Amino acid sequence: MKISGTGGQENIVTELKIMMEQVLENQGCIHNDIREMKKNIFDPDSGLYARVGRNTDFRLTAVKWLWILTTGVALSILRSILSYFLK
């Protein structure tokens, strides 16, 4: 691109200033978006890690209760079978 005179250079400088302002404006928006994403992930009360922790706690508790119930049902079935054959 060949620039003739100073008018072309002034236009380029003006365009560069406008583009830089747009970049800075977009950078601020991106910064706010990243801040929101970090909050959604790392917030100790409602973030992703807090939800995963609560889900893990529930899962571990549910597994314990399922083992207790399964053992009870299995023992009841075994008792019924043994009482049938031992009559």
Q: What is the torsional sign of CA 58, 60, 64, 66? A: positive
Q: How far apart are CA 62 and CA 68, in angstroms?
A: 10
Number of other CB atoms surrounding residue 47 within 10 Å: 15
Domain segments of the chain as ranges: 1-42, 45-87
The CB-side HSE value for 20 (13 A sphere, CA atoms) comes to 6
Which residues are within 8 A (CB) of 40 and not within 5 positions of it... i.e. 6 or more apart?
Answer: 47, 48
pLDDT per residue, tens digit, the chain (87 aa), is 455 555 678 899 999 999 999 999 999 999 999 999 999 888 888 888 888 888 888 999 999 999 999 999 999 999 999 999 988
Q: What is the pLDDT of residues 37-59, one digit of tens each?
A: 999 888 888 888 888 888 888 99
Neighbour-count burial of 50, counting CB atoms closer than 10 A to its CB (0-12 exposed, 13-18 middle, 19+ buried): middle
Whole-structure pTM value? 0.51
